Chains A and B, each alone.
Chain A
């Protein structure tokens, strides 16, 4: 599913999700070079470092919530899950957005959360 793609995972992401990525042909790399940057917690140190980086300031380092991958798993397809709502912005941005828009997709989709946990335990 992820052949030819590279990703970086924050320490906040469960091992199960990372294993899923690798088992589906995805490669791992540093966050500087990865095609996809995944995190499960905007306030974890390694993710905050990205928000403070030059790449982020230049709009070249969008962080996605790792629940995106959990959503892809039951569907066995990356094209049936739009990735654009799985953005994980810095905490202050999240708060501002919650006040104006409501909850994020990765907060509301309980089914996805369960998938995530089940897979982590395997």
Chain B
């Protein structure tokens, strides 16, 4: 038994030991997710990839919005879910500044509601 086997670094998860016949490009992620324990490598991989996927989707959403909804949004200031998300973020960011007069462009939620939503 090699001495490194007892170190946490040497710990392996199912993503580490499966060979080609047990895992392919389609099932890799499902294999990782089905295993409770994940080694450092696969844990970090999953988290970084999930983050990449989220930013990818966000890019796509904002792209669509700019091209199709810009008219509606400018004229009516409709509160789409995207708008709510954005103003929530804006509010959060600006709330750390002394003045937030400039934020009230859309009907915002009351502070209490914002924080209860998390």
Contact = CB atoms under 8 A, between A and B. Distances in A.
Interface stretch (A11-19, A73-81, A113-121): A73-81
A37 B25 contact: yes
B44 interface: yes
B40 A60 contact: no
B25 A61 contact: yes
Contacts of B30: 59
Interface residues of B, number: 27
Report whether over half of chain B's contact residues are helix, strand or loop; otherwise say mixed: helix
A62 B48 contact: no
Contacts of B52: 51, 89-90, 92-93
B45 A97 contact: yes
Interface string B83-103: 000000000000000000000
A20 interface: no
A50 to B, nearest CB: 9
Interface string B15-54: 1111111011110111100000000111011001101110
Contact of B56 (A35, A51, A83, A84): A51
A87 B28 contact: yes
B20 A96 contact: no
A34 B19 CA distance: 17
Contacts of B45: 87, 89, 93, 97
A9 interface: no
A52 to B, nearest CB: 6
Interface in A54-99: 56-57, 59-64, 68, 72, 78-85, 87, 89-90, 92-93, 96-97
19 contacts: A5-B24, A35-B25, A35-B26, A37-B25, A60-B29, A61-B26, A78-B21, A79-B20, A80-B19, A84-B17, A89-B49, A93-B49, A93-B52, A96-B44, A96-B51, A97-B44, A97-B48, A100-B44, A101-B44
Interface of B: 15-21, 23-26, 28-31, 40-42, 44-45, 48-49, 51-53, 56-57
Q: Which 5 A-B pairs have the closest CB atoms?
A: A59-B29, A62-B28, A84-B15, A78-B20, A93-B48
